[in-house]
Structure 1
Amino acid sequence: MELKTPLYDAHVAAGGKIVPFGGYLLPVQYTTGVIKEHMAVRTQAGLFDVSHMGEVMCEGADALKNLQMLLTNDFTNMVDGQARYSPMCNENGGTVDDLIVYKKKDDCYFIVVNASNKDKDYQWMLDHQSGDVTFTDISDSMGQIALQGPKAMEILRKVTSEESIPKKYYHAVFDAEVAGMKCIVSKTGYTGEDGVEIYIDSKQVEKMWNVLLENGKEEGLIPCGLGARDTLRMEASMPLYGHEMDDEITPLETGLGFAVKMAKEDFIGKKAIEEKGELTRKRVGLKVVGRGIIREHEDVYVGEQMVGHTTSGTHCPFLGYPIAMALLDIAYTEIGTQVEVEVRGRKVAAEIVALPFYKRSK
């Protein structure tokens, strides 16, 4: 049975079209539609319910030691309030999940994991913990809202003080107060735009949602669903678990080498990644140059040779043309390479382009 986030009633009241996603009932879009929601985030601001995401506390004298072994990134030089992205690998070098770790203080870390993997990730942490450490799943007590877009910070400043706003990207203020409500404000997001993610007690998340919508009216803030969240992350070339990575795909293959510190003494999956040697396939961007829209799990050809498969694909509202990401044999991954994607028995022409497809101007 699907769960409901604390904002379920608010979505229904606002005309959200509810679908099951990651074990939750969430709006795929509102009456405005995906294209308008997407464009609002690129040009003004959008508000997303991401309360389905999972949150885990990692505490104890050996908290850092555990993170170093569980995750591929290096967490030794973080300052309080800093966030760091990392894949979490299995023994074969495949990806269990990708997540974000925040350092609250020494021996205390706040971890955010993907909704559909929450229980799996938490169990993985428990199964591989060692020494003086406690992992606690606090997901049920937390709500999460993402305020994203070029006007996001303008809206936020109406309801909070500068002390509650992180100064840098991938940093958070843990003792923030927004509209009189205690919360965590994090300068992160999954849209390729400026903005924040706000973590708050699940009992107060609906009040926060309404306050932000009310205060963002002048700036054109609208609620946005899963559909726009997906098209936005795709335009920004952000990988999604179960698409660009999974238990069989290594973080290096999906282009996450920046978050895999092979110089680290050890982490789960390091040996397997080393033994794989040189990459034989990697993630690329495809721009459709023929007629048609490419989706996930479609075969990619160069001439008669099948060279890989697509992992995500859609028509991008802001760019105005269809794109896809694909996992291809390394020999065919050069920018400008012409390929064809088989879509329901018909081949659609595309070319390999640089990632990200879209990057906001600072």
Structure 2
Amino acid sequence: MCEFDCFIEEKIEEGYFPGCVIHMGNKNDTIFHKALGFSELIPIKREMKKDSIFDIASLTKPFATAVSILRLVDSGMISLNTQVGSILMELQGTIDESTTVFELMTHTSSIPAWYPLYFYSLEEREIIRFIGTMKKEKSVYSCLNYVLLGKIVERVTGETLKEFSETNIFKPLSMKDTIFNPPDSLRERFVATEVGNRHERELSKRYIKKTLFEWREKTIVGEVHDGNCFYCFNGISGNSGLFSTASDLARFARLILQGGNEVLKPEMVQFLLKTLTFVRGEKRSIGFLIGGDGCGRLSQKTIWHTGFTGCALWIDPLKEIFIVFLSNAVHPEVRPNILKPIRPQIINHCLNIAMKL
């Protein structure tokens, strides 16, 4: 364990992230669960705790959105072949009218990867219509796909994505700290992200510069970091907005390794585990990447996802283990893709510990 701690402390010293929480386990037990470093540096210094609450960014996509959609598929309310224009009426008459739910969920819709929607409008129906008029690109991983999926959940159920996912996923799995728009009463447990929206503000300069709001300037703590989610959708979106802990994400990982339950039936779990598309060298299931260079010594059956704020989850159905890695790599400033080269190292150090225990 000392070797692992030294590795993480070295990465903290090298500036990869101020702190992190790691939770590794199998389908029945925790192998180890550690917190190291700091949850915030600016304006105050706070130690990271095992129950620290993170903005998990794009991990919202599989945990809240993809699973919610699969619940609707299982209930017969929609199918993976449902055309999104039949649910989101704003898309009728646009190039995305016939795009299917499956294409959105597997990032094969050819909808662009990202756009600062808040420069176009802050009104939901106008935003959805605008996405439908955007020029098609080659199939890429797209936050906008999951923005639309979140709205599909809301239109079909008549509930917000927050309400539906809490009632049908998080509460039944006892994921008590997994929530959109967490209350201020949890402030001491929140992990800080960027100081202001400086990175996104700079990134969006290439687009229309029509400001419909005031940019955040202070350290972002307890508010979603993602600009589209925060400015356009009040913290609740299919692409981002979820807050959680390593322990809560471990509960979900165990559901997958155990093959499903009443929250997500076995046949629905298979949609998360099976390779359904192979595009530009990437294998994808519903909601997850499968295998590839980002898995270290885990098997090539591993499903995984990352979050922009510094989060990642790997679930290996062959080795029957999972690794949750949550960090605040965007605090106090964003360094894009800084964690990419060390993710396999993190995995391999975790596996070394498991072999010694």
Q: Which has the higher strand share?
A: 1
| Higher relative contact order, structure no. (Cα contacts within 8 Å, ≥ 6 residues apart) | 2
Larger Cα-atom Rg: 1
The answer to whether the superposition gives a TM-score over 0.5 is no
TM-score (norm 1): 0.25
- Return the TM-score normalized by structure 2: 0.25
Higher relative helix content: 2
